[in-house]
Amino acid sequence: MPRADATLQRLFVDAPMQTGAALALDKAQSNYLVSVLRMRAGEALLVFNGQDGEWRAALTAPERKSALLTLLDQTRTQPAPGRITLAFAPLKQARFDYMVQKSVEMGAAHLAPVLTHRTQVARLNTERLGANIIEAAEQCGVLALPTFAPEVKLAAFLDALAPEVPLIFCDEFAEVANPFEALQAVPSGSPFALLIGPEGGFDEGERQKLLARSQVIRLSLGPRILRADTAAVAALAAVQMALGDWV
């Protein structure tokens, strides 16, 4: 079902959705609609909760601290969950924000921070992570919000990953230079994990652990060395083109 109107404001609301339901907004959302956007009673917007699709709603009580919406009709149904787990070494704030936002836009279904020997940041701000996910989804028409896990060491992530799940890791030493050729090894329709290393790459011990897996695909991202946040976007573009919903 296509998006109803790209000109309408889009808002994530954490509440069940059905026709005629009244949704109470929190203070920040109320202030944004009424004080910043200056929306008036009766004006329409699109809302979603990550579970019940997208809905057209009307602002019925334009209060700055406690606005109310009424759901009118569903404009899009909820899509099936995606199959990409993006695993990554946490980055410093600005680059991390960028990577998370672009990962949402590019269709990652689950975000898994992993700690490697050369990881720059050892602990994530999960509140900031969640806010970046919601902001990107609001702006880009995304309905399925990615889930995310607490940060774990690389060895623990690999141990928890089911043996039958293909693991794609970005490797500047990959023997197959053509990324689309390499990705043909992923079974059609299979969920898979895509692993982006830290700035400076994986150390030799980590590489050996990765290469020891039975379902591992080494993905080349070309002749240039990419920053980790750029590598995430490039790798997601490659897998979406070869395996995802771009074709």
Q: What percentage of the chain has pLDDT greater than the value 90?
A: 80
Examine the pLDDT at 112 and tell me if it is beyond 90. Answer: yes
Read off the tokens for 116: 């490697």
Q: Report the candidate in 31, 28, 89, 76 with the shortest Cα–Cα distance to residue 49.
A: 76
Q: Strands, E, within 119-191: which ranges? A: 147-148, 152-153, 167-170
Residue 197: its pLDDT value, please?
Answer: 92
Answer whether 156's CB lies under 8 Å from 113's CB: no
At 113-151, the pLDDT tens digits run 999 999 988 888 899 999 999 999 999 999 999 999 999
> Which amino acid appears at position 129 of this protein?
L
Structure confidence at residue 1 as a pLDDT band (50, 70, 90)? very low
pTM check: above 0.85: yes
> Which amino acid appears at position 151 of this protein?
E
Higher-pLDDT residue of 117 and 246 is: 117
Cα distance between residue 140 and residue 146, in whole Å: 14
Read off the tokens for 48: 């979603």
Answer whether 49's CB lies under 8 Å from 17's CB: yes
Cα distance between residue 160 and residue 56, in whole Å: 40
Q: How far is CA 137 from CA 83, 144, 214, in A?
A: 17, 8, 35
Examine the pLDDT at 3 and tell me if it is beyond 60. Answer: no
Give the length of the chain. 247
The total of other beta-carbon atoms located within 10 Å of residue 155's CB is 14
Q: Report the candidate in 207, 239, 221 with the shortest Cα–Cα distance to residue 178.
A: 221
Cα distance between residue 60 and residue 121, in whole Å: 44
At 64-111, the pLDDT tens digits run 899 999 999 999 999 988 999 999 999 998 999 999 999 999 999 999
